[in-house]
């Protein structure tokens, strides 16, 4: 039997920060994301919102795609980012919408 595909965290930082890979893969995506109290769709919307509000666009493409896999539509994501312009700041929303356009339209 072959080994499972390494996670994105394992591929990027596995040899440099194995403990962070463990927390990312096993705790964050293994435990937190699997809790029943929020649906995966809602967790994606909350995560995208937090990333936009924090100006963390480097992590955004991964979570935009994950959000779509979890049931968010492109329209809903664009609307959330537009709404956040007024609460998180225009520059953060503009950076996020640019990342979203690139992720959705290439």
Indicate the domain borders of the chain. Answer: 8-37, 39-106
d(CA 74, CA 96): 13
Percent of the chain topping pLDDT 70: 97
User: Is residue 11 pLDDT above 70, yes or no?
Assistant: yes
Out of 3.40.50.280, 1.20.1290.10, 3.30.1490.20, 3.40.50.1820, select the CATH number for domain 39-106: 1.20.1290.10
Task: Give per-residue burial for 16-44: e unless 16+ CB within 10 Å, then b.
Answer: eeeeebeebbeeeeeeeeeeeeeeeeebb
Given this model, what pLDDT does residue 44 score? Answer: 98
- Rounded to two decimals, the pTM is 0.90
Confidence of residue 98 (pLDDT cuts 50, 70, 90): very high
For residue range 43-56, list pLDDT tens digits in order: 999 999 999 999 99
CA dist 28 and 23 (Å) reads 6
Q: For residues 69 and 29, what is the distance between their CA atoms, to the nearest angstrom?
A: 15
**Weakest mean pLDDT among 5-14, 46-55, 93-102:** 5-14
């Amino acid at each position: 039997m072959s080994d499972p595909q390494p996670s994105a965290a394992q591929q990027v930082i596995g040899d440099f920060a194995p403990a962070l890979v463990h927390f990312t893969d096993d705790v964050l995506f293994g435990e937190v994301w699997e809790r029943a109290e929020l649906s995966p769709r809602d967790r994606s919307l909350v995560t995208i919102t937090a990333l936009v509000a924090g100006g963390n666009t480097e992590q955004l493409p991964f979570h935009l795609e994950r959000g779509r896999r979890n049931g968010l539509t492109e329209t809903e994501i664009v609307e959330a980012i537009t709404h956040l312009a007024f609460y998180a700041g225009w520059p953060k929303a503009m950076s996020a919408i640019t990342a979203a356009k690139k992720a959705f339209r290439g």
